[in-house]
Amino acid sequence: MPTKVIKDTRSALIDGMFALKQGMRIKAINAKVDDYNVDLLEYDLEHSTWIMFKALTNLRDFEKTLDDFCGHYNYYVMDSRMWDKVKYRMPAYLGVYVNATKTKLAARRQLKVPEPTMVNSMMRCLYRDAKVFYSQDYNVRLKLLQDGISIMRGERDKYKQKNAVLEKRIEALKRLTSKSKITLSTEELVKSIEEMLEIQDIETYIVTDDTDFEWGE
């Protein structure tokens, strides 16, 4: 039976992951998917991807839960002390967050259960959480909704900035092809942009004024 310290540690680790802003994701805490139990289940709306997180607080759990994942991407969440103990024993396909910082990337895998099972599990978790939410005082619910709106507005502004970056890059490519008399089809243009995005971090080029866009080194 986990002690209160272990429970509190697990809760703190997962709360940190839940609060982490990682694009448009639906999140559910303490999810059970078929025979798999995880502390946090996420669905990435942008990439149609399922991500699972499990808090790790001791070596015994590490040995028992290595196969207790069924998502596309699967992560352990732990503190630096635990990471020092398991870093050389971590399977290649499992990723790691240390104190809400991505330390090791997970490799994509096939789902171990049918996707409708994943969806049903997520829906059950959301229904459970909705019941808890509506059982709370009105003012508490209002504050939670206001916080949610604030987060969504922040995400909206972030995507507006990213869109501005893409538009600037498209214009830069058009000027480049025009000066060099190179013609690109729409497909080639899109491919060129995608290749740039794979190489460079888009947030480095967030535009904050109306000055001409310049390529980074």
pLDDT at res. 213: 34
The pLDDT of residue 95 is 92
Taken in order 123, 126, 132, 134, the sign of the CA dihedral is negative
- Choose the final residue of a domain: 134, 166, 194: 134
- CB-hemisphere CA count at 13 Å for 30? 6
Q: Is residue 39 part of a domain?
A: yes
Does the residue 214 lie in any domain?
no
**pLDDT given for residue 47 in this prediction:** 85
The pLDDT of residue 10: 54
Regarding whether 142 and 86 lie in a shared domain, the answer is: no
| Judgement on whether residues 45 and 125 belong to the same structural domain of the protein | yes
Residues 130 and 142 grouped into a single domain: no
Say yes or no: 23 and 108 in one domain. yes
Buried b (16+ CB within 10 A) or exposed e, 109-145: eeebbeeeebeebbeebeeeeeeeeeeeeeeeeeeee
Which regions in the chain score pLDDT beneath 50? Answer: 1, 3-6, 8, 199-217
Domain that holds residue 59: 4-134
Neighbours of 18 (CB within 10 A): 15
| Whole-number pLDDT of residue 214 | 36
User: Is residue 200 classed as helix, strand or coil in its secondary structure?
Assistant: coil
Of 105, 134, 163, the residue that ends a domain is 134
Same domain as 201, residue 167: yes
Amino acid at 103: T
Contacts for 107 with CB less than 8 Å, ≥ 6 apart: 73, 92, 93, 95
As for how many domains the chain has, the answer is 2
Could you say which of 134, 163, 185 is where a domain stops?
134
Q: Are residues 62 and 169 in the same domain?
A: no
Instruction: Note the pLDDT tens digit of each residue in 123-157.
Output: 888 888 888 777 878 787 788 778 777 877 877 78
Q: How far is it, in rounded angstroms, from Cα 105 to Cα 184?
A: 35
